[in-house]
Amino acid sequence: MNICNNPNTRLLMRLIVDVLLLSSVFTVALVILPQMLRTRHRGFFCGDESISYPFKQDTILRRIHVTILAIAVPAATILIIEMLRVTFPAPKSATSTAKYGHVPKPPQRYVFVGLRIPTFVSECYNLMGVYLFGLALVLIACSCTKHFTGRLAPYFMDVCQPLLPNNVTACTDPSHFGRFIEFYTCSSLTATPKLLDSMRHSFPSVHSAATAYAMIFLAIYMQARLKTGWIKLWRCLLQFGGVVVALLVALERVGSYRHHWSDVAMGAGIGCLLAFFMTIYVSPLFRQVPIKVRRIRDDSSNIYGYYTVMPKPTYFV
């Protein structure tokens, strides 16, 4: 017996491949690219106010907050909605029954070593797999862009305290005003290597990109899943709340002088673009499955045949 014909083996192999794929893309995004890529060394103009803001040690938004917004909140939202869809199934559509001859079947249930996997578990697995893969792509896109552009952060002058090759502090002499400084070294004794590295990685904002990706992904997900009439207003409220959260994160990064406004705008654009791509073209949210309908092929002989019918896509209700 061929081992590949065993459903349990195929399912286990799929799980292993999915885990390896996600682990690989996150390793590339978080470990390999930051160590392999070299940051572009950019100069600056003396008197440039956009890079002369003070560095704030304490900010409202920390990395743990972004992690919660980008991973914990989407996972909890998808789990709750999928459980609600199983607990309170949508009413059967008489229109679809009359047109296609039957009511569409519920999502496939998987069986592993004799145990039936609940529908919402398999749905959550598929959706979270797509979501996490897209999140890794967001991190890869931001990491590559940061290293290739090397844009200086708004707190660059305060943290770096640039020193010219002749051991003169840059921009202290009035004759330096408006002069472009290309060759310099940082003389700060208190800045950590991590901080000196991050001051050259302002464009784009990863915080804004990850949050925008998470919130837009959830907004489109809720648009596809929450279709019952009485819940549409709640759906709209949740979608609006997610967009507001993404906007507040972007404003906080600008207000704390961690990024320029164009940095957060570009980060939000990357997140939104990948969220639309992953939900519409990769996820199973809007996938249309052909339905085979049994109809009479020849009225005289009563011969029946099966015809493939594509249901009309319903992206937004």
308: CB partners within 8 A, 6+ apart: 290, 291, 292
Domain ranges of the chain: 11-309
pLDDT top residue among 245 and 299: 245
pTM over 0.85: no
Q: How far apart are CA 135 and CA 129, in angstroms?
A: 10
- CA dist 142 and 17 (Å) reads 25
3-state secondary structure of 307: strand
Average pLDDT, the chain: 83
- The pair of structure tokens assigned to 214 is 């998470």
* 207 a catalytic residue: yes
> Residues 191-214: pLDDT tens digits?
888 899 999 999 999 999 999 999
Phi, psi of 181 (to 5 degrees): -105, 115
Residue 259 is a catalytic residue: yes
Exactly one of 102, 201, 207, 260 is catalytic; name it: 207
Summarised one tens digit per residue, pLDDT across range 17-53 is: 999 999 999 999 999 999 999 999 999 999 899 999 9
Which residue is catalytic, options 102, 147, 201, 259? 259
